[in-house]
């Protein structure tokens, strides 16, 4: 390993293995408005069609119906059980490649994908620079990156701070870890990190303007989401919502979109142990010919978390 690179194994991960995230957070939990508002933002920001899209931290695949204009969709998550839930929803069709891996150590070859989407994930990321560097590596030059992050400078946190109910300042640009491995970020800070890693921010949409319990009780989610959608474009001027979406583009000489999708695993995966790309694929494992590492394929999920 390059001694200048942080050891990905040393960065703590918010582990959702075995989590009931879908049931606890989404199903009948009063978040239909947030779900609809996020969908509006993604529809506006993500190119509707393309060759290959990567969703990082896909969870149970809540947003995957929005990516159907892409020929191939790579769904990556650290949690095997979340991927299993996604697979139960979406099936094992050829369109999807399920990958269990750490986003700090993605087993994907450089410049593979045309678009990356990452929603409700970076708030668990302890090393943002390293994560964005990995995304930059796997995105083709000119490719699109849609990122959602939790905004520390939102109206609620500003009121709480003014009333003395919150110790940290929403105006301080540094991230705040309000609970272990849960971070809120300042828009200026996040834009600077994107620029550091070679992304050019093209569009910012503010999301969940109306995340206020009394409004959510009083009005149907669809009506609130429609109003939110009409306000989201103001994100180009100011960002005071709890959630912010940014569309950025990877710099560098733009290459054409990949048409079709590699049948050979060497065009898709690089070995997390040695970065080699010579593979022998069998029904239940994939074997690196360069370093001899063997990684399981379990029920259609490529598992690059622990070698056999
Ligand atoms: C809050 S859930 C969001 C799921 C989905 N993006 C959504 O919006 O419904 C966060 C997801 O990020 C995944 N995750 C967290 N840290 C990760 C890491 N280091 N590498 C890959 N996935 C990670 C978790 O396993 C979990 O599925």
Q: Where are the domains of the chain?
A: 8-261
More confident residue, 16 or 5: 16
pLDDT above 80 for 5 = no
CA of 163 from ligand 1 middle (Å) equals: 33
Average pLDDT over residues 131-154: 97
Share of the chain above pLDDT 90, in %: 91
Q: Ligand 1 centre from 161 Cα, in Å?
A: 29
Starting at the earlier edge strand, list the strands of the sheet with 199-207.
Answer: 199-207, 243-250, 139-150, 113-118, 50-56, 70-77, 96-100, 301-303, 294-298, 285-288, 279-281
Q: What's the pLDDT at 64? A: 98
Q: Mutation test of ligand 1: which of 16, 83, 126, 179 has the most ligand atoms closer than 8 Å to its C-beta?
A: 16
Ranges 99-103, 250-254, 258-262: which has the least confidence? 258-262
Mean pLDDT of 125-137: 97
Nearest alpha-carbon partner for 208 in 169, 186, 235: 235
| Between 255 and 303, the higher pLDDT residue | 303
Structure confidence at residue 8 (pLDDT):
83
How many angstroms does the Cα of residue 194 sit away from the middle of ligand 1? 19
Q: Is the CB of 80 under 6 A from ligand 1?
A: no
Instruction: Check whether 187 has a pLDDT greater than 80.
Output: yes
8-261: what CATH class?
Answer: alpha beta
pLDDT tens digits, 156-177: 999 999 999 999 999 999 999 9
Which pLDDT value is given to residue 263? 66
Q: What is the pLDDT of residue 1?
A: 45
Residue 133: its pLDDT value, please?
97
* Residue 20 backbone phi and psi in degrees, to 5: -100, 40
pLDDT above 60 (res 4): no
Window from 82-86, 117-121, 128-132, 261-265 with minimum mean pLDDT: 261-265
State pTM to two decimals.
0.96
pLDDT above 70 for 261: no
Answer with the residue of higher pLDDT: 251 or 76. Answer: 76
Whether ligand 1 lies within 6 angstroms of the CB of 207 is answered as: no
Q: CB of 54 closer than 6 A to ligand 1?
A: no
Ligand 1, residue 17: give the atom nearest the CA: 25
- Ligand 1, residue 104: give the atom nearest the CA: 19
Which range has the worst mean pLDDT, 28-42, 60-74, 209-223, 240-254? 240-254
How much is the average pLDDT of 58-73?
97
CA-nearest of 195, 208, 33 to 129 is: 195
- Per-residue confidence band for 94, with pLDDT thresholds at 50, 70 and 90: confident
Mutate to test the pocket of ligand 1, among 24, 59, 301 (most ligand atoms within 8 A of CB): 59
To test the ligand 1 pocket, which listed residue (23, 105, 124) has its Cβ within 8 A of the most ligand atoms?
124
């Amino acid at each position: 390993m390059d001694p200048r690179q942080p050891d990905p194994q040393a960065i703590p991960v918010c582990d959702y293995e075995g989590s009931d995230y879908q049931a606890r957070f989404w199903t009948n939990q009063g978040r239909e408005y947030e779900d609809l508002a996020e969908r509006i933002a993604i529809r506006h920001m993500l190119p509707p069609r393309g060759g290959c899209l990567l969703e990082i931290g896909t969870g149970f695949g809540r947003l995957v119906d929005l990516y159907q204009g892409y020929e191939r969709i790579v769904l990556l998550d650290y949690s095997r059980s979340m991927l299993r839930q996604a697979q139960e929803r979406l099936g094992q069709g050829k369109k999807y490649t399920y990958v269990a891996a750490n986003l700090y150590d993605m087993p994907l070859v450089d410049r593979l994908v045309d678009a990356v989407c990452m929603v409700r994930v970076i708030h668990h990321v302890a090393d943002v620079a390293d994560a964005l560097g990995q995304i930059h590596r796997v995105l083709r030059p000119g490719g699109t990156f849609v990122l959602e992050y939790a905004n520390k400078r939102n109206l609620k946190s500003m009121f709480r701070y003014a009333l003395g109910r919150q110790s940290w300042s929403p105006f301080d640009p540094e991230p705040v870890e309000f609970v272990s491995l849960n971070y809120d970020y300042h828009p200026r800070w996040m834009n600077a990190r994107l620029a550091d890693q070679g992304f050019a921010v093209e569009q910012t949409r503010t999301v969940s303007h109306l995340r206020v319990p009394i409004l959510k009780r009083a009005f149907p989610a669809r009506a609130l989401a429609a109003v939110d959608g009409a306000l989201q474009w103001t994100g180009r001027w100011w960002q005071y919502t709890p959630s912010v979406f940014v569309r950025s583009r990877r710099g560098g000489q733009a290459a054409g979109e990949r048409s079709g999708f590699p049948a050979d695993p060497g065009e898709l995966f690089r070995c997390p142990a040695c970065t080699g790309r010579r593979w022998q694929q069998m029904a239940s494992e994939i074997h690196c010919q360069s370093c001899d590492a063997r990684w399981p394929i379990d029920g259609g999920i490529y598992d690059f978390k622990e070698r056999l």
